[in-house]
Amino acid sequence: MFERPASGERAVLVQLDLNQGALDERLSELRLLAVSAGASVEAVIGGRRAKPDPALFAGRGKVDEIAEALRVHDADLVIFNHALSPAQQRNLERSLECRVIDRTALILDIFAQRARSHEGKLQVELAQLDHLSTRLVRGWTHLERQKGGIGLRGPGETQLETDRRLLGMRVRTLKERLARIEKQRRVRRRGRLGRGVLSVSLVGYTNAGKSTLFNALTKAGAYAADQLFATLDTTSRRLYVGEGGNVVLSDTVGFIRDLPHSLVAAFHSTLEETASADLLLHVVDAASEDREAQVDAVNRVLVEIGAGDVPQIMVMNKIDLTQAEAAANRDEYGKIDRVFLSARTGEGLGLLRDALAEAARAAAAAPEDPAGSSPNLTDIDPIQT
């Protein structure tokens, strides 16, 4: 197998036009992902195809172009901004004689670097093992069967079968540990709901400014940085909103387009905090030219995790970069559905607090759910985008 250098790797990026649209935004995002993972971008290879090549994804001519870029820039890694099949990845590595990873592996690598809590590390490892399970053959192509001999004769199991069996055992162990943590999380959540406290979750595209907004509101000191996936672990704080009393505000992992399904599955217990919230503050980078596509990507993930029907207030962040004025817009029913603010400068934060207080008062006035679940917020409409 190819060894990963201790220092940053020199990468060649590959972004093909497969008629998926927003190529410039996708390429810009790939650059940010690569840099976030610790790679230096040496070259970018583009091209247009009607559909991926079954064997090499990019086709023989394009692979030769990638090989030339690797030689010219003395690069040691190729990153495809696409999902590669195990066979395509294996064929590309044989042809290019270097490590090749796809978008899923890149995002998983960043998550592995960012995870801090015990739960976060377990979730990332589970997602990595799920991705690795179909690619194990890469590491054992030089072994047909385990070598026998005195004291070494085994049941005739191939090395690949042995490795898959051990991987399966590790996956089961991780799932059991995460199930215990999820049970503890549910107990804590029920305690909050029993006290009738409004549960609010911050959601949004990665690097939209959720953690900066969370810190500005709660003074929690959560880690915030101008990088993708700075936050992986959910942090919750009680927030006093005046006449609305207290709410529980949670900062969650950011979403991204084409988020790997293995990550969504592994982070089920963390994302369940979002699905069980009474209200979502959907934080949007108002300065991004791709903000509408980012909003759509977030809403698609919310539907996937069962949070598509949770009421939203859209928070248009970073107005200090757009020259926009702080404001709170109301819909045709007179309810606040959009707040313009800057989490960095603090402009407009009072308007968001007012919106949270209004939501908390509405929840307190709503009839209690006979099942004893969270307050009914039907008078706060989900954002339609």
Within a domain: residue 377?
A: no
Report the CATH number that the domain containing residue 41 is assigned in CATH: 3.40.50.11060
Report the CATH number that the domain containing residue 332 is assigned in CATH: 3.40.50.300
- Percent of the chain surpassing pLDDT 90: 38
Query: What tens digit of pLDDT does each residue of 116-142 get?
Result: 778 778 888 888 888 877 776 544 344
Among 53, 71, 101, the domain-final residue is: 101
How many domains are there within the chain?
2
Q: Is 61 annotated as a binding residue?
A: no
Q: Give the burial class of 74: count Cβ atoms within 10 A of its Cβ; 0-12 exposed, 13-18 middle, 19 or more buried.
A: exposed
Within a domain: residue 154?
A: no
Residue 114: closest CA among 236, 224, 274, 260: 224
Question: When comparing pLDDT for 231 and 61, which is higher?
Answer: 61
* pLDDT, position 157: 52
Q: Is 219 annotated as a binding residue?
A: no
Q: Is 252 annotated as a binding residue?
A: yes
Q: Is 102 helix (H, G, I), strand (E, B) or coil?
A: coil
Q: Is 385 annotated as a binding residue?
A: no
61-75, 193-207, 286-300 — which is least confidently predicted? 193-207
Q: Is 318 annotated as a binding residue?
A: yes
Please indicate, yes or no, whether residues 208 and 336 belong to a single structural domain of this protein.
yes
* Mean predicted lDDT score pLDDT of the chain: 80
Q: Is 173 annotated as a binding residue?
A: no
Q: Is 355 annotated as a binding residue?
A: no
Average pLDDT over residues 66-81: 95
Within a domain: residue 200?
A: yes
Q: Is 317 annotated as a binding residue?
A: yes
Please indicate, yes or no, whether residues 93 and 224 belong to a single structural domain of this protein.
no
Q: Is 218 annotated as a binding residue?
A: no
Among 41, 72, 101, the domain-final residue is: 101
- Percent of the chain surpassing pLDDT 70: 78
Q: Is 62 annotated as a binding residue?
A: no
Within a domain: residue 165?
A: no
What own/partner pairs with CB < 8 Å and gap ≥ 24 does 191-194 have?
192/248, 193/372, 193/373, 193/374, 194/372
Q: Are 107 and 263 in contact (CB under 8 A)?
A: yes
* pLDDT, position 342: 96
* pLDDT, position 162: 67
Amino acid at 118: H
Identify the sign of the CA torsion 118, 124, 6, 136. Answer: positive
pLDDT exceeds cutoff 50 at 4: no
Q: How confident is the model at residue 148 (pLDDT cuts 50, 70, 90)?
A: very low
Please indicate, yes or no, whether residues 206 and 338 belong to a single structural domain of this protein.
yes
Q: Is 233 annotated as a binding residue?
A: yes
Within a domain: residue 142?
A: no
Q: How confident is the model at residue 160 (pLDDT cuts 50, 70, 90)?
A: low
Q: Is 319 annotated as a binding residue?
A: yes
Per-residue buried b or exposed e for 191-202, using 16+ beta carbons within 10 Å of the residue's own CB: ebbeeebbbbbb
Within a domain: residue 41?
A: yes
Q: Is 276 annotated as a binding residue?
A: no
Q: Is 212 annotated as a binding residue?
A: no
Average pLDDT over residues 28-32: 89
Q: Is 344 annotated as a binding residue?
A: yes
Within a domain: residue 133?
A: no
Query: What tens digit of pLDDT does each residue of 188-200 get?
Result: 656 555 556 889 9
The domain in which residue 250 lies consists of: 196-364
Q: How confident is the model at residue 3 (pLDDT cuts 50, 70, 90)?
A: very low
Kindly write down the DSSP assignment for every residue of 33-87, as one continuous string.
HHHHTT-EEEEEEEEE-SS-BTTTBS-HHHHHHHHHHHHHHT--EEEESSPPPHH
Q: How much helix, strand and coil, in percent to the nearest 5, is found in the chain?
A: 45, 20, 40
Question: When comparing pLDDT for 139 and 93, which is higher?
Answer: 93
Among 74, 101, 128, the domain-final residue is: 101
68-77, 146-155, 314-323, 325-334 — which is least confidently predicted? 146-155
Q: Is 141 annotated as a binding residue?
A: no
* pLDDT, position 301: 87
Q: Is 210 annotated as a binding residue?
A: yes
Q: Is 379 annotated as a binding residue?
A: no
